[in-house]
Each structure stands twice: as C-alpha cells, then as structure tokens.
Structure 1
C-alpha cells in the first residue's frame, strides 16, 4: 500500500500540476455564501462601486488590475439584474461601458454554477456583428477573467482555420463569436454541443436582429435550449415584439439609462454638418485633412471600393499624415493590423466602411467625418459614437448633399440629436481635381478603382430605402465622376430600362421558340444554332481581368446617339437603347478619295491625309499618320489591302478562263433535255476514243516496220563482214575500219580517263606512306590490266563489248 503523501508514479509529480488540480476542485470557495449575497441584492438600491456588489474574488481582482472601480450608469443598473438571472434589454449611449455590463454577469453566473471543465460543455455564448468587435470583447474578457477564473474561453470568427476551431470547441466554456461562423460550427461540427447553455448575449442587438443577420440568428436559436438567460445590449435598442418572441425572452427587464436625456448622443460630443455637393466632397475632405494633420480622424464611406479609391489616391498625393483603410473585403490579419495601428497612433486618418461603425473602442479619436450620408439615424449614432467615449470630448462632422439636407435633418431631430451647420472657408479649400486626372491618366489601376467607386457609390444611393433623403435623380453624377478624375461618367447598367430583368424572368422556351404572330415564318431557319463552348474555348477566351475584361469594358460610356429622346436617355445622358456590347464606337470617318472630304460647320472642306493608289487594290489607301507611312514600306502588311485574286486556266486555243465556271441556266436549257445532252456527250466521247485507238494502232505498226528494217540492215552488215574476213583482206576502196575504231576507242578512252581522273586526296594525319604506296600500286595494276584488255580485241563482238564498257 502506498504511504500517505506518495503516489504510484515512478517520476516525481510537478508542483504546478498539483496546484492546478486543487484549483479545479474549488473546495476553498464558499458558494453558499455567494449565492445568499446575490439573493439579497436590492434592485431598488443604487450601487456605485464594483466592490459594493457580491462578486467573486477572481472577478474583483481582475477589475482591480484593469483599474475599474466606479460603475457607469448602465453597469450599475444592468449588472444586479443580470446577477439575479433575469433577461435584459439594455440600451445606452455609445461609450458607456456596455461590454462590462454583460461580461461580469457571465463570469459570475457560471462561477456560482461551477460550470468549469471539458465535461461541463458550453455555458455562455456571446455574439457580435463584426469580427473586430468580437476580438475586442474577447480581449476584455481575458483581462477580467485571467486572475483566478478557470473557464476555457474561445474566439470563433471568420478568416481563421476552421479545423483548429473544431478541435478546441469541445473544451470551451465561454465563446465569443460572429453569427456566420458559429452557425457553421453548429451545423457542421458534430462534437460541438450546446444543450447545457446557460447564457446568450447579443451585443449590438439591433444590428444582429435586422435583415442582415436575421436568417443566421433564427437558425442559431433553433439549436439553443429555451431554458436560458438572454441579454441584449445596443446603443439603439429594438422593442419589436416579433424580435423578442424570436429570442424566447422570459419577462425581460428593459434597462435604458439615457431614455430621459435630452439627447441620444453624449453631451461631450460636438456635432456639425456641412452642405456639400457630391462633386466637392473629396476637395473638402482633402482640405480638412491638411488642416488637421496632428489629429486622429476617422472617415466613413458607403462602400469598400470608395474606401480603396480614396485611400490609394490620397496616399499618392502624400497629405503629411499616416493613412489607413479598413473594409469588409480585406483579409482578417489586415483588418486586425489596421485596428491595432490606429488604436496606438496619436495622429492618423482611417478610411472605413460601416464595418468599423459599431462597438469598436478607438482611444482618443478627435474627429469622425461621415463623408457619405448614413442610411438611417441609428447608423449615424453608431458612427459618431467612435469619438467622445467615456466622457471624453469629440467632434463629428456630417457631409450632406443639398438634396439630403432637409430629409436627414428631420430624422435627426426626431431622434433628439442636436446638430449645427458650419461653413467651409473657401480660402483654405484646395482643389485636387487636376491631380486626380493626372494620376488616373498615368495609372490605369487607380482609374479602374475610380470607375468602380463611382458605380458602387451610385448603387448605394439607388438601393437606399428612404427615397425622401436619397433620390438618384437629384445628384449630378457627371460632375461627381469629373471630381474623381474620370473623363466621363461610367455606364450604370442597373439604372437602364433595357428590359434586362424581364429577359431574366422570361422562360427559355419563349426566348428560343418564335411566336405564331411573327411575319416571317423562317425565323427558326434564320437563327443559327448556338455553338457549344467547351472548357478549352473558355480557356482561350481569357483576358487580362484588370484592363481587358468585359466588366471593365462596360464601364466605358459610348457617345450619345442623335435623335434620342429624354425618356430614352438615363440620368447620365447615355442612350438606354444602345447596345451594351458595343465597346468601340465610330467617332469620325476618313474619306476614301480626294473627292470625298469632311465638311465643317462653315461649309469648307477638310481633307484627311493623302490618297495612295496601290497596284492590285480597287480602293485607295488613306495615309494620315506616321504609322500609315511605315505601312507603305512593308509588302507583307500591304497584302491585306489588296483585292482577292482569281485563278485562271488556258484552253487549247490560248483563251483564259476561270478555274471554275458555271454555265448559264438558260443556255443549258436551250441545248435540250439533260438526258439528251448526256447521250450526245457520251457519243462524242466514244468517237474521240475510237479515233485515238486508230491513231495508236497506226503508230504502233509504223514502229514495228522501222524496227524490222533496222534489224535487217544489221544482219546484212554482219553477213558482208563475215564474207570479207573469209577472203583474207580488206576492201580496196574502203579504209581500215578496225584501225579507225581502235584509234577512236583509244583517244576516247584516254580523254575519258583524263577527264574522270580524280584529284589526289590529301593524306590524313593517321595515314602512313606505305598505305599510299600500296594504293598507288593497286591502281597501277588495274590500269595495266585495263590497258591490256583494250589492246587485245580480236572479233567484232569484243570491240562492241569494249565500246559498251567504255560508254558506261
């Protein structure tokens, strides 16, 4: 038996592990006393300090180390109610400390239930609308809970490894998550169970419960148990019965500490607005940044493309202050780096979309500039709440177009938001239009960003619900495009009444099969079959997506067509009936000859270059540039201007005809029926063949006679030669034929040998003299043998044989 104080392990147990085991048992915690103190909380009593509340030792130590001593209004009212287990609807101004008002109840309620360890499962789920806000909540949770609490807390947001999150989810007791990622784990991670969930917290509940996250939240609620405590917090709280019913709230307590205040924003916040046409927004913003280089500025825009364009263009112009940008299309690590850098900076300018409008705590922000008008008053409150936090001072400036001023001011006044108008000093205002034009001319990527920024800004206005404030017809978009540095307003496809939506909704059969009312019955035969496009066709059709892609070409607006009515034109002056696929349009016409010239307004003619007549070309070539001049020097390039040649053949009479000629149908019919013409052609061909056969037979007979005659002459000559040899002498009147033949044969043989004698080859480096001597001796023997053979013919047959050998 093992003695007391000893274990069965062969190696000594580490001291740290023993201490950890003791902590997990929590035997030193008096939970009964803590439960009794919580039950004795008087909700009518007003608590001021955290020490007045019945909190556990680790929580008090965490608050003390983080220098939290005095509670804010929302904390003083909400924390006692949450500790007693009631559901809460909490509404308070931005920067009033809502994060601690739900983190402290989460830690304390789970602590009293001893919801610790892997076996306990998930005890609390905190959902926030953005990743940055979730990270901020998780950081505060770690600061408060790291001084003695044994809970396993995790952060589940998009942009991180899904597999690593799955492995850690089963050990978590507290989770801070975004709606999309937690729903993904609930539906895909089998080991993740939420059956024992005690608390659900929704931060920025009005944003989570709106149309953007409605489906995700409804799906999440289906997985969660109904017996739970639910806490909802936001600067603009929703009181809709439908929203509360969806969350299964049980007798919720509505906590609103600023409901009786005269304003819905902090008192230390100074709010102003500027009436600024949209074509002067960038000039005003640039001038403001130049005048506030030592300040911390946060600028809000309506779209991510607008943020990117303003950031890239201002960065090239170097305003003298660090520039940053953040939007929802960035990678997660880029967004985290940007928020960390802007929080630590003393003087900086951050361009952002509404992704940074809620809950983020940027220290000491001096100005919040809303360059694009917010969609509603709630968005305005959340945007401007990034400054003047925790009773600090701050200033918010809103840019309003003349058409937005009246409607937006009425809505701000209805929400008790005090705002005053200010004017811009024209002396200090700088125009950056010329710089933007020069920049877009040099850099096509920034030009493309400007075009996309224009399109997304226009689309954001067009899709707004409040048409009393946002009416697309009241904006001068041509001037706005010029203020971005663009030569003209890009085409806006979704604003054109070209029937595109009706075409999408129309069935395929109606598009392919023509109706019976069509005037032409051959529509099906006229329409060519649509070719099948394979993956190789699509591969070869790929283009540079930055410059040559279709969506880039469609941003370029063609000129207006003459005769277009105002109803057919869109708000930018573009013709809605024009073909969207036409990227290039004819702007001017070059005359084809000297007689055809452009006529100016005053009636004078204006020739366009000189005319060059090319040989073999029916149309002259107009030379109006240096490139055309160089074209004249290249025969290969001039071939495409030449006329197509015709192939000619010549008949027996020497007349030229085309290679393929078709007879006139009338002439063909005048010659008779096709069968009669065929019979005539066959008879004529038969006669030609018969005559050719007769000629061939006569020629063959003539050749046979000539051959027989030559053979008889040769036999007669041989008989005469034999007779002469028998007589023992030669003919008296004739010469010696044998001597003459020998002389001719010898002469021809010597000349032939002399002519065909090869040149002596150069001796190689590896050849010896003995090899040359052997080769020469062999050649001499062959020559002597041949000479002896030539000198010894005896009969006429020998001479013929010798002659045949000499002649090859």
Structure 2
C-alpha cells in the first residue's frame, strides 16, 4: 500500500501528468459548454467561444480577435460535431469558420501521427488551397498536429513519402484522388472531418466524377462542412455527400443585397471591338490603383498581357491563368498580394476565395457565365467591410439577359457612360505588334478563336449568341490582318440552315406519314432506326466518298475519281473539271502552290504605327509642285549619277586595298619560305664542315678549300633518281692521280672517311 501511494504521489508531481490532467479538465469544460449552443449566439470575440487556450493564443498572434457573422453562427455548430452548410458573402471570413473546428476537434481527441489522417479540406483551385494552408499555419502554430498541402504541379514522389504522416490535408480534388489510387499506405479509414470550400463549384459538372470517387473512399461516419458564397441546397448533392441533418447557415439570405454593402457596382455597354481600347484607357487613368481584370479564357489573358506590356502603360502588369506552371502561379499570387499598385489579368481561376489585400477595382472585361460567377469575381474587392469598386463590360446582345440574372440574385448595379475625350485607341499599335512579332500575331489568332469558342459553348443562349458577334471587326481590333477560320461557327450555321430548309420542305410537301415512318422516327427505337440510318444516304454525309471540310472528326478520307458519262450535262462536266483541278492541286508541291497562289500585298508602317502600301501614288498637282516631269527627271539622273560615281570611287578603293593586302601576305609567305631554306643550308654546311675538318686533321692540314667543298656529301633532292645520285657521288670523288706517297696516303684516308 505504501508503494502504491508513493507511485501516485510521483505521478502527481510529474509535469507531463499534470499537463494532461489540466488538458482533460479543459476538454471536459468545453464539452459541457457546447451542450447549450444558445450561450454563444451573441458572441463578438473569439475569447467568448468554447475554444482551447492554444487555439486562442494562435488566433491572437495571427491578429484575429473579432468574430464575423458567419463565424459566430457556424463555429459553435461545427464544434458540436454537426454537419454545416454555410453560405455567406465573399470576404466574410468563411476560412476561419471551418479551420477552427478542424483544429479543435483533432486536438481534443489527442490526435497524433500514429492516428493517421483526421481531416481533409478540399478547394477547387491551387491558389485557394495555398491560401487556406497559410492561414492554417498561422492559427495552428502552437498545436502539434501535422498538416500538408497536396496540389498539382509539385513533386508527387515527395508527397507520397510524407502523406501517410499527415493529420490534416489541404488539397485539390484531382491530386487527392491520384494519391488515393496510386500511393501505397495512404489510408482514410479514420477520417473525422471533411471540408469542402467553394462547395457549389466542387459539386458542379466540372468536378462531379472526381468528388464522387473521393466520397466512395471516405468513411460514412464523419463530420462534413460545406462553405461557399453561393450555396447549393440540392437534395441530390446532400445525398451524395452523406450529410446527416445538416444545419443550413445562410448569413445574408435575408439581406437586401447579396454583395457587400461598401462595394460600388457599375456596368457599361460597349461594342466588342472597343473593349481593349476602353481597358487601356481605364488603366492609364488609374495608375495609382490595384486592379484585377477578369477574362474568359487563358489565351485571351496571355495575349492582352503581352500586348499591354509592350504598350507600357506605366504600372506593373501581371497575368495569372491555368496554363502556367505551379511555381509561377504561386509567385505571381504572392507578388500581386504584396504590390501596392498593379494590374492582374486573370481567368476565373482567381475568382473564388482568394484574398488579395487592398484591391481597389475589379474589372470584368468579359461577361461572366452567370450571376454567381459575377458575385465571386466582384468579391475580390470590398473584403472585410472595406471599400471597393466593380465594373462590368457588357455587349449590347448581353445586356438584357445578364441584368435580369443579376436582379434575380439581388445584385444592385448602375450604368455608367464613357467619356469620349478620355478614351484612347490602340488598334494601330496592335496591328504594328502583330506585323513585327509573329508570336504576338499567333497569340492574337488563338485568343480570337478561344473567345468565340467560349461564347459558343455557353449554355445560356439568351445572353451568349456567337452568331451575332462581329467576328471580322473583333479580329481587326486585335491587330490581325484577316479573320481566322472558325469551323464550329460555320458548322452551326450550316446545321441551322439545313434544319430550316428541311422544315420548309416538310411544310410545302405536307406528305402523309405512314405507320412505318412513325415507327422509324420514334426516339426509343434502337435497332430499326440505326439500320434505317445506315441505308439512307443523307446529303450532309460524305459526298462522293470525300469528307466535308468542316468535319473535324474525320481521320482519313479517300478520294474517288468521278467518271462523267456522255449523257451528263455541261454543268456536270464543268463540275468534274473543277474537282479534277482541285485534286491536281493537292498533288502539287509547296513551291508550285506558292507560285499559283495569289500574292499578298506588302505593307509598311510609319513611326506612328499607321500602315501604308509599299508604293503609293500621289496627285498630279502635288507631283508638279517640284517642277515639270523633264526637270525632275534630269535632277533625278544627276543626283543618282553623282551617287554612282561616289560609289564607284569607294568600290575601287576597297578593291585596291584588298589587292595590297593579298600582295603583302604573299611576300610575307615568300620571305618565311626563304628564311627556312637558308636555315636548312646553314645547318648542312656546319655538319659537313665539322666532318671534313676532322678528316683533314687526321690526314693533313694543307687541304685546299676546293677539296673540302668536294668532300661535302650532297643531299638527295626529291626530283633525283638513284642513278643520278650515284653519278653525283662518283663525280664528287674524282681527283687527280697522286704523284707521291704522301698524296696516296691522303687519298686513302679521304676515301675511308667518305665510305663511313
């Protein structure tokens, strides 16, 4: 008994045991307070909420002290482990409304690395995921929980090594599903909380399959939180997410307007070719502002950014779109957030959830898809009860439909007019850019096609009608010399024309449909209708075995020669000749086609960027100002004659200089060759003199210079044969007959020396 009491005393004195005991008491007190949620309905500060001390300290160090309306209503419900559907205006603090419950629940359950994944936070864009992760790091700095950011564009292998040790994951849907399918050891069986930020975007058609696949891998016993500025209450969506008695928190549902009160909203009506002129004039008059410009597609954002950079409006320009690499997107996101004055050209990738501080203007250069997209775009400014301005540019065909949608969503917006004296035109400069830089021209063509395709693919045809777009004028406003070919517009026009023609013919003929015809036309008929369609040769199908030019789905086409019969008319013969001519053109080479094709007109641009013909005619009166034709002819000949004489003198001087240089080089080579031959001769002379001197010292000191010269062994030249060399040796060794004994001895010694 004494030993047990001693162990209890030691445990009480242990600091770790004391800390755990205090945490347990703190957790029990919080659980007791959460039983009555009405106590926190009027809370104004985070200290009034039932939160642990670590979370309160983290919020205080991150300068979060006062609660917003969505946080006041959603946080207590989430802390009580209820499923929450939160809808609030943009910039109302929804991020903290789900991050605080995530930290609190895992901390109160004493979650650690061995417990695995406890919470998943999914966002539709990478930039929003990065922003959520940064806020999580700020408020959770005192907790021991591990958190990870899983988004596309990063090294997947590094993520696979660390993901199994994470307690909280902030991710995008595609990357999370990829790790669920490919990462060994990634387990979500113990998941406690699932958070969907911008839930309406995540549950639409773009992410439907991905979200469904993720939900299938998650346990059904979990807490789910959904937050967005425009929340969906669809029963199908709630069933998909397995929500149990969700609490719907719509803070501004009964508000007069669905946008912030301090946001001033205006729209202007302009023609499509004037949009870039108005945008450039707007930037030039707001050089001390922070502006976000929304466009409909990535190619447009890149083209406008590149052109405006060349125009140098006097303010930093940036671009943010989905075709950029992840590192560059994050870098631009941070740079624009830290900038004081800048313009950001972006797509809807930056429309949701991103918190750019101190944004003055949001300009929607292209009409949004719907009113919800407009609310998200305009919400990048006037955040947290700050002032802001939103400007929407509408085409005359978009005005009525879009204003009706905004009115249905309780969006107050007023019309403004443009001051003509403040507007500047940049069309001539864009033409100059496209003419000088092929890359700018290529970007302009792609931007043109991408914009019209985005209009063509819109669902609401009462607002977006691609047939009413001034394509030619719009291409000219982008600086393009001609209108790029757009196949999908031509195809839609042809389909409509064929349908109208068929309807007219059906009205005229008024044929009586038989029982079999009605059976074939039934929509639920499968086998017979398919067989009937195979037998019928429609006019819109392949003509003569050759596919139509507008058909993008054809992979291979086979051309068959049309054989004209004698009974064919002259028109058919002309058509056959035209077909054969077109087939011959397809077999021609590039050079032959270039010769036969029409020649384009060459243009030159002056200093102001205005295009001119290469040779332009002037009026007769203006021509005669310089004198009559004969006088101008004589002056022209005299001027060019003098120029030719001067050029002739310069050419002769250049030619003389070249000749002198060649002559000098030739003399230098000759001198080097002569010096080399002299050195060789001197070396041979020295060696021969030494040998002769030694032989003369042995025999006699009275040899003459002629005899020493004859003793020299001559070097064989390249043009001498062996016989000639032998003759030379013999000729060199011939001497007079010795008279005395001394002469004979000297000759013998000389011969012996030569034999060596």
2:119 counterpart of 1:124: yes
2:95 counterpart of 1:140: no
Deviation at 1:486, TM superposition (A): 0.7
Task: Please give the alpha-carbon distance, in whole angstroms, between the structure 2 residues aligned to 1:440 and 1:247.
Answer: 51
Conserved in 2, the CA contact under 8 Å of 1:34 and 1:112?
A: no
Match in the other structure for 1:46: 42
Question: What do the CA deviations read for 1:635-665 (whole angstroms, capped 9, x no partner)?
Answer: xxxxxxxxxxxxxxxxxxxxxxxxxxxxxxx
Matched residue of 2:313: which SS? coil
Deviation at 1:190, TM superposition (A): 2.0
Deviation at 1:497, TM superposition (A): 2.6
User: Higher helix proportion, which one?
Assistant: 2
2:419 counterpart of 1:413: no
Deviation at 1:32, TM superposition (A): 2.4
Conserved in 2, the CA contact under 8 Å of 1:43 and 1:80?
A: no
What aligned pairs does 1:5-20 form with structure 2 within 5 A after superposition?
Answer: none
Matched residue of 2:211: which SS? helix
Match in the other structure for 1:214: 208
Question: What do the CA deviations read for 1:431-483 (whole angstroms, capped 9, x no partner)?
Answer: 00000001100001000000000000000000000000001122111111110
Deviation at 1:772, TM superposition (A): 3.3
Distance 1:439 1:150, change over 3 A: same
Match in the other structure for 2:71: 75
Match in the other structure for 1:313: 307
2:288 counterpart of 1:261: no
Match in the other structure for 1:84: 80
TM-score of the aligned structures, taking structure 1 as reference length: 0.61
Conserved in 2, the CA contact under 8 Å of 1:307 and 1:327?
A: yes
2:114 counterpart of 1:159: no
Deviation at 1:22, TM superposition (A): 5.2
Aligned positions, number: 521
Distance 1:517 1:174, change over 3 A: closer
Distance 1:465 1:762, change over 3 A: closer
Task: Please give the alpha-carbon distance, in whole angstroms, between the structure 1 residues aligned to 2:450 and 2:129.
Answer: 28
Match in the other structure for 2:387: 393
Task: Please give the alpha-carbon distance, in whole angstroms, between the structure 2 residues aligned to 1:415 and 1:40.
Answer: 35
TM-score of the aligned structures, taking structure 2 as reference length: 0.65
The correspondence for 1:362, drawn from 349, 352, 356, is: 356
Distance 1:764 1:347, change over 3 A: same
Deviation at 1:42, TM superposition (A): 2.6
Match in the other structure for 1:104: 100
2:176 counterpart of 1:182: yes
Structure with larger Rg: 1
Conserved in 1, the CA contact under 8 Å of 2:41 and 2:72?
A: no
Match in the other structure for 1:93: 89
Matched residue of 1:134: which SS? helix
Distance 1:43 1:373, change over 3 A: farther
Conserved in 1, the CA contact under 8 Å of 2:466 and 2:489?
A: no
The correspondence for 1:480, drawn from 474, 486, 489, is: 474
What runs of 5+ residues in structure 2 fail to find an aligned partner?
A: 1-14, 496-529, 547-584, 601-714, 734-756
Match in the other structure for 1:682: none
Conserved in 1, the CA contact under 8 Å of 2:467 and 2:489?
A: no
Question: What do the CA deviations read for 1:694-747 (whole angstroms, capped 9, x no partner)?
Answer: xxxxxxxxxxxxxxxxxxxxxxxxxxxxxxxxxxxxxxxxxxxxxxxxxxxxxx
What aligned pairs does 1:445-594 form with structure 2 within 5 A after superposition?
Answer: 445-497=439-491, 586-587=597-598
Matched residue of 1:135: which SS? helix
Question: What do the CA deviations read for 1:189-219 (whole angstroms, capped 9, x no partner)?
Answer: 1200000000000000000000010000000
Matched residue of 2:363: which SS? strand
Task: Please give the alpha-carbon distance, in whole angstroms, between the structure 2 residues aligned to 1:69 and 1:479.
Answer: 55
Deviation at 1:515, TM superposition (A): 9.5
Match in the other structure for 1:113: 109
Matched residue of 2:431: which SS? helix
Conserved in 2, the CA contact under 8 Å of 1:43 and 1:81?
A: no
Task: Please give the alpha-carbon distance, in whole angstroms, between the structure 2 residues aligned to 1:329 and 1:188.
Answer: 25
Conserved in 1, the CA contact under 8 Å of 2:361 and 2:389?
A: yes
Deviation at 1:24, TM superposition (A): 13
Match in the other structure for 1:348: 342
Deviation at 1:35, TM superposition (A): 2.4
Conserved in 2, the CA contact under 8 Å of 1:46 and 1:77?
A: no
Matched residue of 2:291: which SS? strand
Match in the other structure for 1:744: none
Conserved in 2, the CA contact under 8 Å of 1:86 and 1:229?
A: yes
Match in the other structure for 1:772: 727
